[in-house]
Amino acid sequence: MALMITDECTSCGACVEDCPQQAIDEGDPAYLIDGEKCVECVGWYEEPQCVAACPVECIVPDPARRESREDLEAKKEQLGRG
């Protein structure tokens, strides 16, 4: 399941640098996670780094993008990152 940033985002940018897939971009007014790129840090870390970095805890699973660990691993391979 890809992640999403909720309306509680304060646009601090703490999450951006920690994303190994470069899936987080500045939006208006809040940051956005590109669900086509987000693999929840599978293959890099035990937990999503953006979630760990977010000071307001506004990064949550995106209910519209349900993906298994295997799906996330395949997406990472397809994107050729890591």
Helix (H) or strand (E) holding 40: none
Max Cα-Cα span within the chain: 33
Q: Give me the residues paired with residue 20 across strands.
A: none
pTM attached to this predicted model: 0.89
Query: Is domain 1-82 annotated with CATH 3.30.70.20?
Result: yes
Q: pLDDT tens across 18-50, in order?
A: 999 999 999 988 999 999 999 999 999 999 999
Q: How far apart are CA 38 and CA 48, in angstroms?
A: 10
Mean residue pLDDT of the chain comes to: 94
pLDDT at 18: 93
Domain boundaries, the chain: 1-82
